[in-house]
Every structure is written in C-alpha cells, then in structure tokens.
Chains A and B, each alone.
Chain A
C-alpha cells in the first residue's frame, strides 16, 4: 500500500525538480570537485575500459563502483532508473527473442534452458553498457555548466560550442516551464478519451500525443526569443571575444591541476588494475 501510494505521489513537479537538482545543484557532487579536464579525460578512459573485460565478476564490481560514484555525484534517481531499465529491457527483449527462436528450432534443453543460457551469455554485455552509461551520466551531470564549458574550452573545443553549453543550462528550466505550460494549455482545450481502455492506455496515448504536439509551438516561441539574445550577445561583446587572447586568458586563467586531481586519476586506474589482476 505504502509503496503504491509513493508511486502515485510522484508528480511531474517532483521529476522536474529531481532533474533540475541533477543539472544545477552540484556544489557537493564528488566529481564536480575535480579539475574539469581531468574529469573529461577520466570519463573518456572509463568509457573504453569495460570493453577489455569479459568475465561477469570484474564487470559487476565496476558496475557497483560506478553506481556508488553516481550516488556521490547526486545523479538523478529517475535518470538512473530510466537508464538501467533501458539496458535491462533491451537485453531482456533479445533474450526472449533468441530463446523463442532457439526453442522453435527444437534446440535441446527446452525453453527454460535457452533463457538461462542466453541471459548468462548476454550478462557481461549488459553490464558493460550500463557501466559506460552510468559513468558518463555521472561525470557530465555532476560538473557545473561553468566547469564543463571551461574544461572543454581548454581542451580545444571551439568557444561558440562551449558557450552553447552554458546557454543551454541557462535556458533549460525556462524551456521546461514553457513546455509544461503548453501541454497544460493543450489539455484544457482537448477532450480526454472517455473510454480509457485497459490500464488507461488510451488516456496515456492521448497524453503522449499532446506532449508531442506541444513541441511545435515551443520551437516557434524559442526562435522568436533568440532574436533578442543574438542582439544582446553583440552588445556584450561576444563576437569581439572570439579572437581575443586576453579574453581567453581570463576565462581559463584559474584552471590548475591539483594533487587531488592526479590522485583521483591514479586511484581510479589502480582500482581497475586491482580488478583486472584479482578478479
């Protein structure tokens, strides 16, 4: 009962807030305390590392470690759940399909055996995918927009692109709000299906339809707004700054590698080494 109530009480507002917390409230996030260049490099390494392991045990340890890291970096629970649900259901589908084919072809061991065999065979792959997604999600959602942009700029990513990141962070809540308003506005002017169908599927299909329709007016409104933004960018000297060395200097001046950044990197690598040797 309590569990069901809790589920029912998850509102759009709560989810919105959780996403916002992930994106914006990163003062205490572990990964946000390191030099952004190190974190970017680190996540690049850990997207590759899982592919060198083939046994379930080390991969499982890595999965646990990455989840711990995601937790310390205050990654959204909703996002993590969605992500893990994505990998599991994806692989689950393959298992079901391949087992059915195997059984239909008259393979030995029957359906049950096929499911077990296929699941075990696909387990490492699932875990690899999950580790990679969790690691990159944790890294990129934990870093504050300012750090992320700075890190990328110093690694040679062009400034208009890094500006777009910061601007995206600025506008996202506004867009979210606007989108929500538009969906609501559509709801008040539509009629919900009277016959909701099994598990209210018709009702959910109807909501889904509205949420797609709301994108069009939103895009239009955003396009209208950006006109002023471009003018304002001109007055703030953005185009002036693009080729300006002093300006770049100011932007990157306070980036420095601290011993703790190096330690973080070394500890991570050591961890992988230990996992590789002992498991």
Chain B
C-alpha cells in the first residue's frame, strides 16, 4: 500500500491579536496506516497543530505562519482548505455543529456534491455502511443520539475517501459507551482501509486500548513521539501536562519495586497487560455489604408509581419511565446510572416539577409536584443542567450566581454570593461571562449558581460530562464538599469512576425500570448488570475482577493496599 505522510517542519503559528505563538518550531511526521494519538495539556496547541494538517491554519485563521506543513507532496500554504480536506478529513470536537443539512444522507453527500463528484450517492452509501449507519440514511439529524451524530460526522468525512481522519476529542462529548463504540469503528476503519487515524485525546485508557503511537504536545512544541506502550510509561511527563495515566499504570507505579512491572521492566498500560504483570491476590474475607438507602433518615423525595413519556414525531408516544417508584432519604448521595434514554434526565426533570408525570405522583419535600409550580419547588431544590451554557443568563458569573437571590429579594445577596464564590474557589472567573469560559470552568460556575440558593436537594445532570481530567477531579472534590451544605445530592451520570469515588447509593436504570438499587460496592460486583445497563466499570474494578480480588476495589489506593498486603504475605 502506498502511504502518505504529514510532515510538519519548524511550524510556528501565532493567532492574530495574541502575543505568544501557540506553536513554536514544531516538528512531527505522521504516517497514514497508523492510529496516532495527540496528547497535551489544555492550551498546549494540539488542536492548532491538527488544524494545520487540513489548512484551516493558516487559510482560515490568518495569523503569523512560519515553517511548512506538507501532506504527501502538497505544501498546505499552496493549496486551500477544501482541496486539502479531501485528503485530511476533520471531525470537530463539537461535531453537532459540523452537520449542516437536515437529513443524514444529505449531510454525508454534502461535500461530495460541493466538489461536483458524480458518484456522490455511492460514496455516501458506502460511508454510512462503513460506520454502521446504513439504516439511518433518511432520518433527521436531530432525531439521532449524540453517538450517532458523531458517526454521521465521521461518515461525511469518509465519503471523500481521505487518507487521514482527524478526530478531535471523541470521548469528551460522548458518553463512555458511545466513545468506545467510536473507537472500535475507528480502529476497524484504520485496519481495513489503511486510512491514518489521528485522535486528540485526554483519556489515556482509550489511547492504551486503541492507539499505536503517541505524540505529546507541550508548550507549542512536539515534545516527543513514542509507541503507545512506551509513551504512557512517561508518567511524570503526563502528570506535568495534567493528564492521568491509565488507572492500571498508576497502580503499577504505586506497587513495591518490581511487583507491578512487565517482564521488560515497563508498567502495563491496559488491563490485559496488568493481569499478566500484577501478583495474583487471594480472596479476602468478605465484609457484609451494607443494605443501603433505606431507613437512614427522613424521607425527602418519593416517586410513586410514575409513568411518564414523550410524544415523538413518527413513533407515537414513547414511555420512558413505566410504573417507576423510588424513595430518597436525607443524607443520601445517590447516583443514577444507565444507558442513554433509560430515563435519568427525565427523572431529574420530574423532581424539579418542570414536567408533571403522566400518571402517578412525585412528592418533593412534602409538595406534590402536580400541585406546585416549579418556581416554588425551586426554593428547596436545585437542578443543575447537563449543559452549563443553559444556566448562564447574565453577563458575568457573579451576576448569574446572584440572580436567584435577587429575584427572591434576599436581604443579604452580596455576602452570600461572595461566600459561595469563595467556597468554590472561583474568584478568578467570577467577573467573566460564563459562556466564554472553558467547559471545566463553566461546570464550576453552574455548581456555584446552584449552591447559592442554599438548597436541601441538589439534582445534577452529568456533572463530569465533557471534562478533562483536571476539571473532573475538581468537580468531584466540589461534589464531596457540597454535600456538607445540603441534605441530598442526586447525580445522573455515566461516569462510573465518579460513582466509585463519591456515591453511597446507586440506582441502575434499565429499559424496563430499576435494574438495581444498591451500594456501589455491590453494583460493581455484578459485571453482567453493568453490561446490561451499557456501563463499563472503571479499570480498577475490571482489574480486581480479573485478579480475583473479592470484593472488588473501587479506587486505586484500595487496590494498591490489597496488592501490597498480598505481596508481603
């Protein structure tokens, strides 16, 4: 197979209006026929580097451009974006905005038609087949799930028969299940067709499982390029860039010398490798699993025999929750988990009173939501939207935090706002427009808006969605702290690492109602239950299972303790 190479020579680029260049004499070579991951901290210039491959830099963003970028024999400065895009396809991080036609097929054909390619229909059909969306060709884009939309964006790129596909942070906007599906697709594509796949990625666990080569971008330069196994072993360099190595690699590092390494002296980077490297653990005496959630404290929320659904365009009314009942007590830290469409968000919205159940009753702090306006329920309950942007209605974060208090004529607005901002440690962003912050900062601001109302019940929808690991850690820490200020926190999430570290009660929703309502410990002991709910346990749980550690460890420090005591037996 002939292969093409992207060659970057001494590339320096400065965005107009900025003093510092984002890229400084960067050099790298990426061949097609490989699965390459580009990694780097926030603002390290990795996205800019990738946008230089298809000419968006410098043709679209005109700044100061020095050095050369060549795709095969073509020098990007001598070509243009639409021509280069036929060789280097790009799937953006917010891929929804990349889809510009109402119907799937039209969007996939769009580029081919623009270039006047007569076989556009065949191209679209093949591309849709390749990503497994053959059946969805005539559907409306907005009817599709996020994961499917991502695949449509990918198909749109594949329809041009590119030699490279650049995918910008697929795991950031997709839930873990869909992100894994996307990676499976990308790997298959790369192996079957010899297309070079380049992903920008924070999640080292995906990199370990799927990629061949790792390119580290730091401070506007390509710091190093390594095969993935070796690259993920440069733990210090990763941590310096705010990137967490895979859990198994972290565990290996914390184990006593020689205990956690592979025969060649390296740390394992996938669960598979870890199973070979780590010492086997004998079973520990089982502690009884404590029954959870019931009889703890006062009953705050009861959902009683609720059936609720939505009308749809073509399939009539779909029922999301069917005869669903649950009771939440004070002091609970509840995680709602389950596949997309299982009703997590619907349940949260029912608790806010914004929607009334079709049948059954929802009682929040003694108020029947059917009889109470959402405004009144919001006195004690706060709902933090999945997409923080929907919570910013004022011009600065500070005004947004104050908004509720001012509307309720609180006598002490300034002090309470200052208090919350101080509590969440966000003095630095308080006077900026919420919409212009990074996603991690937005998430913190949305939590501040919620906490300022001094709620008894906090409802959070996907608080760790699309966060890099640094922001994720901060949000988790904030969640733990916010519990001290509230009675009950309910989190709808896909993030099982969050569940393992934070929750004390897990409600698993499946297509037919509640699959389980137990402690995290006992949920993680049932791999088949997780699989049914489209959930994937954190690496540490999977590793415990494979190593026969029973009950499974939920955090890296737990498993390190277990393995070291085993080691010292």
A residues in contact (CB < 8 Å) with B: 13-14, 17, 20-21, 24-25, 145-146, 163, 166-167, 169-170, 173-174, 178, 181-182, 184-192, 213-214, 216-217, 220-221, 224-226, 228-229, 231-241, 244-247, 249-251
Contacts and interface: CB of A to CB of B under 8 A. Distances in A.
Nearest to A251: B113
Given A14-B311, A225-B97, A249-B116, A213 B435 contact: no
A216 B400 CA distance: 14
B408 interface: yes
Nearest first, the 8 A-B pairs at minimum CB distance are A246-B116, A241-B114, A237-B82, A237-B114, A232-B98, A235-B85, A228-B97, A240-B82
A229 to B, nearest CB: 5
5 contacts: A167-B101, A214-B393, A217-B390, A235-B54, A244-B116
Contact of B115 (A190, A229, A247): A247
A166 B109 CA distance: 14
Task: Please indicate which of the listed interface residues B86, B374, B382 has the most CB atoms of chain A within 10 Å of its own CB.
Answer: B374
B392 interface: yes
B407 interface: yes
Interface of B: 54, 56, 59-60, 80-83, 85-86, 89-90, 92, 94, 96-103, 106, 110-111, 113-118, 120, 140-142, 156, 310-314, 352, 354, 373-376, 378, 382-383, 385, 387, 389-393, 403-404, 407-408, 435, 449, 453
Contacts of A189: 378, 393, 403-404, 407, 449, 453
A247 B56 contact: no
Given A217-B390, A232-B90, A232-B92, 16 more contacts: A17-B313, A189-B453, A190-B375, A192-B376, A217-B435, A225-B97, A226-B97, A232-B98, A234-B59, A235-B90, A236-B100, A238-B82, A238-B114, A239-B82, A247-B114, A250-B120
A188 B352 contact: yes
B392 A174 contact: no
B41 to A, nearest CB: 22
A241 B110 CA distance: 10
A271 to B, nearest CB: 33
Contacts of B391: 185
A185 B394 CA distance: 12
Contacts of A232: 90, 92, 97-98, 100
A12 to B, nearest CB: 10
A217 to B, nearest CB: 5
Contact of B313 (A24, A174, A187, A221): A24
A192 B373 contact: yes
Contacts of A247: 113-116
A174 B142 contact: yes
Contacts of A21: 313
Contacts of A238: 82, 114
Given A188-B383, A234-B56, A236-B156, A228 B98 contact: yes
A249 B118 CA distance: 10
A235 B435 contact: no
Contact of A170 (B90, B142, B385, B407): B142
Contacts of A245: 116
Contacts of A229: 97-98, 100
A68 B14 CA distance: 62
A275 B385 CA distance: 58
A224 B434 CA distance: 12
A220 B435 contact: yes
Contacts of B354: 184, 187-188
Contact of B81 (A174, A190, A235): A235
Nearest to A177: B142
B114 A240 contact: yes
Nearest to B349: A184
A224 B311 CA distance: 30
Contact of A217 (B142, B376, B392, B449): B392
A207 B435 CA distance: 24
Given A187-B375, A237-B85, A24 B390 contact: no
A250 B113 CA distance: 7
B94 A234 contact: no
A239 to B, nearest CB: 7
Contacts of B314: 25
